[in-house]
Structure 1
C-alpha cells in the first residue's frame, strides 16, 4: 500500500467476538477510511466456503457454526486480515464435541487466540491514524501506534465486575458456580486490560451503566463515549399478525443461563407467579454445574442455543420478555425482543437506556423478585396495555438499528481521523 493510500485509509480495527465492530469496520470500508480489519475467521463466501457448505454432513455443521460468521455489506476480502484461524477452528470443534478435556483445551485456545490477534494487530498499527480495538486484543497495537487509540469495551470495567461478582456470591451462594471466575484467567490478563484502558484516548461503551462503572473506577466522563448497539429490525419484527392460538401466558428469557444475567431472581419470581396458564421459557446455554437449577427444574422449559434465524419466531410466540441482568454492556437480546413487539421487564444495569419505564415495559431494580412478580401480574391482567407497550417497544427499537450505530460511531471515528482528538 502506498503512502498516499495509507493516509487516506488509516483506521485499523481489531476484534475478537464483538458484533458491533463488524458493523464499524464495514462502515469505515464504505467510506474509504479502513486500513485493515483484523479478526478471527470470517465467512466471506469464497469459492472453497461455498463448496464446504454443500458437503454432505459437514456442510450442515459448518453452516451452524463458522458459516454463521458472515460479515455486513461493505467489507471485501481485501479489507479483512484473518488471524489465529487454526486455533479458532480447533476451539470450535472442542466446544462442539464437549467433555472435560475439550473444555480445558477450549479455554487454553481462547487465550491463545487473543494473544495471536494482539500480536498481528501490533504489526499493523504503526501507520494507523486511528486504532479501534476490542478489549483484550488491543494492548500491543496501542503500544505501537502514534495515532488516536479507541478501546471498544462491551461491558463494565473489569474491576467493577470483580467487586460486583464477589458481592453476588455472598448474596446468592447457591448460584455462585455460575458467576465469572477470575481465578481461572491467566496472570497477564488483568495487567493487559489495565494497559488498554489507561492507554486508550477514548473508551467506547454501549450504555450509561457501563460508562458509570468506568467512572466509579476513576475514569473521566470525557474519556467515555456511549453509543448503543443495534439490532436487525427487519429480521426481528412482529411478523404478520395472527390470532394467538394458545391461552398460555408465555414469559421468555434469552441469553446465557447464568447468574450474571440475574437468572436466580427470575426463577424465584416465576415460582411465585406461575399458574396453570403460564409458562417460562429459557433460551440459551447452561453452565457446567446444573445443581443450582435443581429446585426449579419443573418450573421452566429449556431451549438450547438456537441459530439467529430461529429466534424471531421464538420471540413472537411469547407475551413478555424478562431480562433481569446484573451486569450487561447493553443487552442485544432486549433490543431484539422489543423489535418483535414484546414488552420488556429489565433492570438499569445495561438495558436501562433502551426500555422506557411504563412505556415499552418496566425497568425494575436489580435483585428485586417482588418487582418482577408485580410487573408480571400487571401485564397478565392487562392484555391491552401489554399490546400497547409491545407496539411502543417496536417503535423504540427502530431508533437502535445497526444503521444508526454505524452512522453514529463512524461520525465519531471520522472526527478523530480528520482532526485528532476532539477538544
Structure 2
C-alpha cells in the first residue's frame, strides 16, 4: 500500500464547519492517532498570521473573522491540512460586505469549498486505518478508503428533513421563506449525501431525535450512534446568586432566526404572554427575507450580531432560555444556556436528550404555542422554581463536556479499528 502524503497512518479526519470534529481531531492528535486533519482555513498563530493581526485596519477585520478560527489544544505542526483557502477567504469577504451579488457568490463558493475539501481528503486516504468525515465532504474519501469509515452527521437525515420541511411549509406558509430550500442545492448534493450514508460503517449523531430519523429512513439501529456534544463550562457559567436583582422577566433565544428553530411558535407564544416587565430577546441573524417577522417586530428585542466574548453575559442576563426547535441535531445553544444556569423550554426534536422535563426546565411538544405560554407563565410566577431549575440545569450541563465527547468518540473509533 502506498504511503499518504503525510507519511503516517492512523485516523484521517475531514471537516467543513462542524465544531465537534475540531475537538475530536485534537484528541486524536494528543494520543498520537491522527494521520491528518483536513479542513478549511484555521488560525494557527503562524508568523504571517500574527503579523496580519497587527496591521492597521485590516488586522481588526481579521481578528473578528478568520482570526477567530482557533483550534482546541493538542495539535502539532503539520497535523492540519487546509483546503480551499482562497475560496474560503473570498466567501467570507463576500458575506462580510454583503449585497445581492456578493451573497450569490458566497453561495456558489459554499458548494465549491465542500467539493475542494472532499477532493483534498481523497488524496490522504490510502493508509488511513479509519476515516472520520463530516457529511457533505466525505464522499470521495469514503469511496477510496480501505479502512473503517465513520460519518459525522450533525442533524437529521436529509430526506427526513425534506419531508418535514414540506409539511411545515403547509402549516406555516408565512414563514416558508425562512425554511431550508433544497431546490437551490446543486443536483449532486443529495446523491453524495446518500453515498456517504451508505458507505459509512457507523454514523455519529448528537441526539436520539437525529438517530430516530435515520432509523425511519431504513438504517439499522446499530449503525447510528448517539454521542452528545459538549460545552465550555468555564466560559459559560452562572452569575453570582443575588448579584443582579432584575424587575424584568427576560426570555432569551439564541441562534439563526429561522423556522427550523421553531421561531414562529415562539413569537406567537410571546405575543400572548407578554406584559409589563417582560422582555423577549432574539440573538442571531435574520434570513435574507425578514418580512415574516414584521407583524411581531414591536414585541421583541433583536440583537443581530454578538461577539463571542459577549455571549456568556447575555445568557446570564436572562431568566429563561426558549428554544422550540423543529429540526435540530442537538442544540449547542441549549447546552450553553444550561451551563449558564438557565432553565430551558424546548422540544424533543434535538435538545430533548439534554433537558429533563420538570427538572432543568420543560420539554414541550413541537408547534405547541399553548404549552410555551403555560411554561413561561409558570417560570415567571415561580421564581424559586426558576432558580432551582437553573441550578439543576447547570449540574446537568456538567455531564456534557467536550472531554467526555472526545473520550466517547475515540472509544468508538478504537473499537471499530480493532474489530
Match of 1:220 in 2: 220
Asked whether the equivalents of residues 266 and 369 of structure 2 are also in contact (C-alpha less than 8 Å), the reply is yes
1:244 Cα shift? 2.2
Match of 2:21 in 1: 21
1:277-325 deviations in Å (ceiling 9; x for gaps)? 1000000000011110010000000001222211000000000000001
In the alignment, the residues of structure 1 paired with residue 294 and residue 304 of structure 2 have an alpha-carbon distance, to the nearest angstrom, of 17
Q: Structure 1's 324 and 4: CA in aligned 2 closer, same or farther, altered over 3 A?
A: closer
Moved over 6 A (4+): 2-8
Match of 1:66 in 2: 66
1:243 Cα shift? 3.1
Report the TM-score, using the length of structure 2 for normalisation: 0.98
Residue 73 of structure 2 aligns to a residue whose secondary structure is: coil
Residue 378 of structure 2 aligns to a residue whose secondary structure is: helix
1:240 Cα shift? 3.2
In the alignment, the residues of structure 2 paired with residue 319 and residue 112 of structure 1 have an alpha-carbon distance, to the nearest angstrom, of 42
In the alignment, the residues of structure 1 paired with residue 6 and residue 219 of structure 2 have an alpha-carbon distance, to the nearest angstrom, of 32
In the alignment, the residues of structure 2 paired with residue 87 and residue 29 of structure 1 have an alpha-carbon distance, to the nearest angstrom, of 27
The yes-or-no answer on 1:123 pairing with 2:126 is no
Match of 1:232 in 2: 232
In the alignment, the residues of structure 2 paired with residue 4 and residue 82 of structure 1 have an alpha-carbon distance, to the nearest angstrom, of 16
Q: Structure 1's 128 and 385: CA in aligned 2 closer, same or farther, altered over 3 A?
A: same
Residue 246 of structure 2 aligns to a residue whose secondary structure is: coil
Residue 102 of structure 2 aligns to a residue whose secondary structure is: helix
1:204-239 deviations in Å (ceiling 9; x for gaps)? 000000000000000010100110000001000013
1:246 Cα shift? 2.8
Instruction: For structure 1, list consecutive stretches of 5 or more residues without a partner in the other structure.
Output: none
Match of 2:135 in 1: 135
- Where does 1:322-337 land on structure 2 (aligned, <5 Å)? 322-337=322-337
Asked whether the equivalents of residues 6 and 127 of structure 1 are also in contact (C-alpha less than 8 Å), the reply is no
1:75 Cα shift? 1.2
Residue 128 of structure 2 aligns to a residue whose secondary structure is: coil
In the alignment, the residues of structure 1 paired with residue 60 and residue 376 of structure 2 have an alpha-carbon distance, to the nearest angstrom, of 40
Residue 129 of structure 1 aligns to a residue whose secondary structure is: strand
1:325-354 deviations in Å (ceiling 9; x for gaps)? 100000000000000000000000000000
How many residue pairs were aligned? 419
Asked whether the equivalents of residues 156 and 210 of structure 1 are also in contact (C-alpha less than 8 Å), the reply is yes
In the alignment, the residues of structure 2 paired with residue 308 and residue 121 of structure 1 have an alpha-carbon distance, to the nearest angstrom, of 30
Match of 1:347 in 2: 347
Instruction: For structure 2, list consecutive stretches of 5 or more residues without a partner in the other structure.
Output: none
1:245 Cα shift? 3.7
In the alignment, the residues of structure 2 paired with residue 314 and residue 95 of structure 1 have an alpha-carbon distance, to the nearest angstrom, of 25
Q: Structure 1's 335 and 59: CA in aligned 2 closer, same or farther, altered over 3 A?
A: same
Asked whether the equivalents of residues 8 and 33 of structure 1 are also in contact (C-alpha less than 8 Å), the reply is no
- Where does 1:106-255 land on structure 2 (aligned, <5 Å)? 106-255=106-255
The yes-or-no answer on 1:407 pairing with 2:407 is yes
1:381 Cα shift? 0.5
Asked whether the equivalents of residues 4 and 126 of structure 2 are also in contact (C-alpha less than 8 Å), the reply is no
RMSD: 1.6
In the alignment, the residues of structure 2 paired with residue 364 and residue 412 of structure 1 have an alpha-carbon distance, to the nearest angstrom, of 32
In the alignment, the residues of structure 2 paired with residue 117 and residue 3 of structure 1 have an alpha-carbon distance, to the nearest angstrom, of 20
Q: Structure 1's 147 and 6: CA in aligned 2 closer, same or farther, altered over 3 A?
A: farther
In the alignment, the residues of structure 2 paired with residue 95 and residue 67 of structure 1 have an alpha-carbon distance, to the nearest angstrom, of 16
1:203 Cα shift? 0.3
Asked whether the equivalents of residues 155 and 328 of structure 1 are also in contact (C-alpha less than 8 Å), the reply is yes
1:54 Cα shift? 1.2
Asked whether the equivalents of residues 41 and 82 of structure 1 are also in contact (C-alpha less than 8 Å), the reply is yes
In the alignment, the residues of structure 1 paired with residue 407 and residue 305 of structure 2 have an alpha-carbon distance, to the nearest angstrom, of 31
Q: Structure 1's 270 and 120: CA in aligned 2 closer, same or farther, altered over 3 A?
A: same
